[in-house]
Chain A
Amino acid sequence: MRDWWRLLTHISRLTLREGRRSAVILALLIVGEAGVIAAMGLSQRKLVDDSAGGAAGGVAAAVVLGAMAYATSSVTGRVRGNLLLYLVGRVRGRLSEQIQRLVSSIPTITHLEHAPYIDRWNRIFNSSQALSAMPWSALDSVVAVLGLAVTVGLLASISPALSLLAVLGVPLLLANRRADRLLRDSRDANTELLRHEERLHALCVEPEPAKEVMLADGGAALDRRARDLWETAAVRETSARLRGAAWQSTAWILYAAGFAGAMIVVAGLIRDGRTTVGAAVLVVSLATQLQSQLRVVLQSLTTAAEAGQAVSHYWWLRRYPAGSSGLAPPPVLAGGITLSGVRFRYPGASSDTLHDVHLELPAGKTVAIVGANGAGKSTLIKLLTGLYEPSAGSLTVDGTPLASLSAVGWNARLSGVHQDFARLRLRLRETVGIGNVRYIRAKPVIEAAIARAGAPAFDGLESQLGAPFGGVEPSLGQWQRLALARSLMRETPLCVVLDEPTAALDPLAEHELFQLFVAQAHSARRAGAVTVLVSHRFTTVRMADHIVVLDDGRVREQGSHEELMAAAGAYAELYRLQERAYR
């Protein structure tokens, strides 16, 4: 509940910042609406009684009151609807932006890869509408309760027994809460299905994957699966809604019975001459309006519940370690990076990917990691860059545990290319320049990086990349060179990771690029940068100062090329194997 209040305060503040005047007007309109229902009911009573009694003055007063109430309520309804769209829309944009910043400021990527986490922040995104409407659903509830009090007061003024009608609203509220919970559960269960459907859909309509689907004639099979997922989700939600409707119908039956009873009570009062026929009209008007008031309460409760559920997810995200706190990394690496007893297991996996890894990555040196597919090379790289946290053991940077360094600070001193680097279809200047956002407009710097990586210049730095956006679509090899150019934008990295950065390049190009990186490392030796390279090409690997052979998540052997060749172990065997192709 405290979380709920805090988020309400946060969003109310956002709302006021986005449109103070609109927010005030909207609040006044909502409060004003509370009186409209009573005015309508009273005017109808007066209209019926005074016209039957022939009191022309009273009739005129009733008409004026009723017409004003009606016009106010319908115009208010519309203005209010549009103002709400306007304000909630603006706040939603701001909130989505905040959520996006939060998600991307988390230093690790476990939350992006592991289903239960993905579901959580997906739900936050999906509830951004309900979250943004929080202040208004809260105000709606308060005002509807006020209006309800006025209604009950009027009913009681006819006969105290009539106020019991409001008590019958309680089962309605309970049934509604139950229906809400059913719906929410079904929606939660559907998130994964719909995400799966969305992925399958993208495979069919996005050109990159669709080319393979087209050639395989796989469209029909994917379509069938996507349709099944969609239908399952829709049916599941419908069945939850129907079950909810059954509960609500039962509650409405009780209410309708009470309503009929109320009218019979009033009829008795009229027969006894204790009230007028107009009172019966007032009761009908109030009881039917009571229904719409209750509906507002119910709807705002639904929205509040939806928001309420997202509240916990929201604070979960806010409290996720954000990584801006911690020590600053050393300006210069003196010793190096040390892994001691590092183990890693993917969430939900049944066995470790890395077992008890001890490694020294000395400052100023180039370290190559080789090993079979699935040996854990990329996982090791992700641990070094802080994308994953070790399940056990520690990484230290010049003796300081990596965990105690500020993740933002550490990231700022990293550079390199991940195996599945991003192919960002931005402008050429941007896709390279984001390697160092400070220089994103510094054309000479970017041009130099592009030239050094041998990346294509296309039609200048402002060329749009990506066929779907009317630009050129680089080949995979060209993308890799662009990614390398991006990594060259960093000035004094402490650690450079290159995870098969050149797999799509020809060996000569790889050789030449690797020399470039070694030269880079050399010039950055004053900063003591460690360069960590993953490659399957031994002509490149042998140039490294230190070579680590990983096997099934363990360090099998390590040393210089000469040492490992002399040892005649796994490395030597693999080296000779590759060499054979060049005899």
Chain B
Amino acid sequence: MTLWNIVLLASVAVLALKLAGYFVPESFLEKPTPSRVANLLTVALLAALIGVQTFASGQAVVIDARLPAVLLAGVLFALRVPFIIVLIAAAGTAALLRFFFPGM
């Protein structure tokens, strides 16, 4: 599978899911179970991505400069700081830690 195959297949699948919503009967949403599972699926995938993006280095699990950066981001989100500023603060924290402690 080439990178182009991956990019195009995934893009078409995501686009098709959006379009499908305009062509399925509305009663689907009134059933609580599919709607609840879809919402929880979003939560689980985002949380899994946070875990992997924070701790994984290849297939190893490590604690490095990313963890303090993500913890700071959590505090800033709780304080309702705007999204883009939180991202800059998180990147800056990790960058500074790595500058002073190479290898983190």
Asked if A and B are interacting partners, one says: no
